[in-house]
Amino acid sequence: MSAATGGQQRVLVVDDEPALRALLADFLGRRGLAVREAADGLAMRAALAAEPADVVVLDVTMPGESGLDLLAELRARGDDVPVVLLTACDGLDDRLAGLGRGADDYVTKPFEPRELLARIRAVLRRSPPRPRRTAARPRGEAGVVWLGRCLLEPATGRLRLAHDATEIPLTAMELDLLRVMLRHQGVPLPRHRLEELAHGVAGGSGGRAVDTRIHRLREKLEPDPANPRVLRTVRGEGYLLVPGPGEDAIVTTS
């Protein structure tokens, strides 16, 4: 999986087939595109929260959330990132359903990678430049992590709003929880495990104290606590931390 560098155009490939993702990452990467991969909707949201994409290649048929559902979610929240759908259905109604939800193009499986590349480049040519976020570590400040609308210094426990540097108090236990989740970012942790790792409590209270701290942290970190993007709940698995700028991030265009 390649990372975006310089002015490379950024492609996010969302597909539940690892072999197909690897093939496309290699093929597109060797042709000058910066490719990231996501296996499902949760990983797609995390990837886009960390860094925008210039185009999303999105499989329609995936277990759990379908590509059409994810596309509808993107458009509902005002994200106009170009989307090329991958679909095994080539009927007119299927194509119209995808285009009707806001897709920019579609490719029918099985497909020739060169065709997908041509469609990606065509979509990129007719799309305006997408925002590029500044680095999550501000200039001259070491050890700073961007969490939603805030910047956190894990070593000191200092938390402040990104846009005006207003200090936000953290309790010792809230900070312990964030430090543990930062060490395990990208991995959902169940409540009892968080309680054990952060507070040294084996068995504990069944996670009620953790739930309370997560709620308070969301109020501090999330631009919209009712729809958390930084401290997420993964059904049946636990809580997941997704670092990255939120709505108050400074952006530039290029």
CATH number, domain at 195? 1.10.10.10
* 100 in the same domain as 60: yes
Query: What tokens appear for 28 in the block?
Result: 């597109």
- How many distinct structural domains can be found in the chain? 2
Is the pLDDT score of 6 beyond 70? no
Residue positions counted in the chain:
254
Rounded-to-integer distance, Cα 20 and Cα 198, Å = 38
What mean pLDDT value characterizes the chain? 81
CATH number, domain at 66? 3.40.50.2300
| Domain of residue 202, residue span | 145-253
Q: Which residue, of 77, 105, 130, is where some domain finishes?
A: 130
Rounded-to-integer distance, Cα 67 and Cα 160, Å = 36
Q: Which residue, of 130, 156, 188, is where some domain finishes?
A: 130
152 near 144, Cβ under 8 Å? Answer: yes
On whether residue 51 sits in a domain, the answer given is yes
On whether residue 152 sits in a domain, the answer given is yes
Digit-coded pLDDT (tens) for 119-161: 999 999 988 776 665 434 433 334 678 898 898 888 889 999 8
* 247 in the same domain as 156: yes
User: Which of 54-63, 71-80, 127-136 holds the top average pLDDT?
Assistant: 54-63
On whether residue 2 sits in a domain, the answer given is no
Which residue type, as a one-letter code, is found at position 108?
A: T
Digit-coded pLDDT (tens) for 79-116: 889 999 998 776 556 666 656 668 889 898 889 999 99
On whether residue 138 sits in a domain, the answer given is no
Q: Which residue, of 130, 162, 178, is where some domain finishes?
A: 130
Mean local confidence (pLDDT), 12-33? 92
Query: What tokens appear for 56 in the block?
Result: 């999303």
On whether residue 240 sits in a domain, the answer given is yes
* 58 in the same domain as 32: yes
Q: How would you class 157 by CB atoms within 10 Å of its CB: exposed for 0-12, middle for 13-18, buried for 19 or more?
A: middle
* 122 in the same domain as 221: no
Secondary structure of the chain in HEC code, one letter for each residue: CCCCCCCCCEEEEECCCHHHHHHHHHHHHCCCCEEEEECCHHHHHHHHHHCCCCEEEEECCCCCCCHHHHHHHHHHCCCCCCEEEEECCCCHHHHHHHHHCCCCEEEECCCCHHHHHHHHHHHHHCCCCCEEECCCCCCCCCCCEEEECEEEECCCCEEEECCCCCECCCCHHHHHHHHHHHHCCCCCECHHHHHHHHHCCCCCCCCHHHHHHHHHHHHHHCCCCCCCCCEEEECCCEEEECCEECCCCCEEEC
On whether residue 139 sits in a domain, the answer given is no
- Beta-bridge partner residues of 152: 145, 159
* 75 in the same domain as 149: no
Query: According to the model, what pLDDT value does residue 42 have?
Result: 81
pTM (2 decimals)?
0.53
